[in-house]
Amino acid sequence: MLLFYLYLNNMLIKFNDGQQIDLAQMLLAKEKRVENQKLMLTRHNYPLISLSIVIPGPIKDSSGANFLFKEAIKALHDCFAENTILVIDEQHYHSIAGAEAIMSVKCSANRLKQYCIDIEENHPLGRLWDIDVIDPITQQSLSRSEFKHQSRKCLICHDMAKVCSRARRHSLDEIFSTIEKKIGDYLNI
């Protein structure tokens, strides 16, 4: 069904070369993520970045997803270097639910959220990343609306992502061909 692949320095980028995940595994992965965030907050009293990759469908851990993860880590580090922001601790987690990262960052939560929104909106692959910022005091994620930013738009049409995903408006094939096009444009292939 998914025929897309790219070769980049001999690296294969596909979205169907992983194991399928079921709902129970998905929920377990979410619980684990919250646990890891809490653990990081007990170690350091700084805001957290919690990064995950936006991949539709049941296969979350593919070579394509891992490519997007590495690019996201690069984009975050570029942003920190540019703004002289120190990363206190950084952990990467790889599982059937896909790659994730948690970083403890020496920067105010508000400033950090603004940087992350900028990356999500302006980097060519930013729409494929979920970069949450968690306040160390409230232990809650900062929401886009507090920063006068709308909820995220759908990858394909101009409706809100939530609306389209609830209505299952776009097929997986349609979504992955949009993702492959974004990556192709980004890599200039």
DSSP state of 77: H
Q: Is 157 in the site for Zn ion (CB under 5 A)?
A: yes
Q: Which of residues 20-59 bind Zn ion (CB under 5 A)?
A: none
Task: Choose one: 91-99, 105-113, 163-171, 176-184; the region binding Zn ion (CB under 5 A).
Answer: 163-171
CB of 102 to Zn ion, least distance (A): 30
Let me know: does 93 contact 39? Beta carbons within 8 Å.
no
Q: Residues touching Zn ion: how many (CB under 5 A)? A: 5
Q: How many CA atoms lie within 13 A of 18 on its CB side?
A: 24
Q: Based on CB atoms, which residue is closest to Zn ion, 78 or 173?
A: 173
Is the torsion defined by CA of 74, 157, 50, 18 positive or negative? Answer: negative
Task: Choose one: 50-58, 62-70, 127-135, 152-160; the region binding Zn ion (CB under 5 A).
Answer: 152-160
DSSP state of 188: T
Q: Is 164 in the site for Zn ion (CB under 5 A)?
A: yes
Of the candidate residues 2, 6, 96, 156, the single one contacting Zn ion (CB under 5 A):
156
Q: Based on CB atoms, which residue is closest to Zn ion, 6 or 160?
A: 160
CB of 168 to Zn ion, least distance (A): 10
User: Residue 182 is encoded by which pair of tokens?
Assistant: 């974004």
Chain centre distance of CA 76 = 11
Is the torsion defined by CA of 140, 145, 146, 148 positive or negative? Answer: positive
Of residues 30, 35, 45, the one with CA closest to residue 135:
45
Q: Based on CB atoms, which residue is closest to Zn ion, 160 or 187?
A: 160
What is the end-to-end Cα distance of the chain in Å, rounded? 22
Sheet holding 48-53, edge to edge: 86-95, 98-106, 48-53, 129-134
Q: Is 154 in the site for Zn ion (CB under 5 A)?
A: yes
CB of 169 to Zn ion, least distance (A): 5
Q: Based on CB atoms, which residue is closest to Zn ion, 36 or 165?
A: 165
Q: Is 179 in the site for Zn ion (CB under 5 A)?
A: no
Q: Closest CB to Zn ion belongs to which residue?
A: 154
Binding site for Zn ion (CB under 5 A): 154, 156-157, 159, 164
